[in-house]
Amino acid sequence: MTTGEDIRPARISYQGAPGAFSHEACMDLRPWDVPVAFETFEGAIQAVLTGDCDLALIPLENTTVGTVEPAATLVREAGLEPLSEAWRPIRHALLGLPDARLSD
């Protein structure tokens, strides 16, 4: 029998920096686990394959462009399979200095 003390949070790899869309999705989908940032999709996937991380949160498709490459191909070639989905609203904002013009 295991106790709560025997259970450790999973480590979830993702591509990006803390605060990135994938990091937000990790926190939304599995807030009890530990998100681990990687610079590349390859690094995040490799962390799962080596056992450094337990899961990876990798964007495979989005409603604007469809399949996200090279992420989808890397996941497929690694033999990983989706276990769940996370939906994130994506909002971009264009920022500029005072008196800046869009034409600049």
The CATH number of the domain where 40 resides is what? 3.40.190.10
User: Is the peptide bond prior to 70 cis by the omega test (within 30 degrees of 0)?
Assistant: yes
The reply to whether the predicted model has a pTM over 0.85 is no
The H or E element containing residue 42 is: helix 41-50
Where do we find the tokens 């013009």? 101
Residue 94 lies in a domain: no
Residue 16 lies in a domain: yes
**Whether residue 5 has pLDDT greater than 70:** no
**What three-state secondary structure class fits 71?**
helix
Segment 68-82, tens digit of pLDDT: 999 999 999 999 999
**Domain tally, the chain:** 1
Residue 3 lies in a domain: no
Note the Cα 46 to chain centre separation in Å: 14
Residue-level pLDDT at 60:
93
Residue 62 lies in a domain: yes
- Supply 50's token pair: 């080596």
Q: Which of 82, 68, 87 is nearest to 29 (CA)?
A: 87
Residue 24 lies in a domain: yes
**Whether residue 38 has pLDDT greater than 70:** yes
Question: Domain residues for 47?
Answer: 9-78
Residue 91 lies in a domain: no
Residue 87 lies in a domain: no
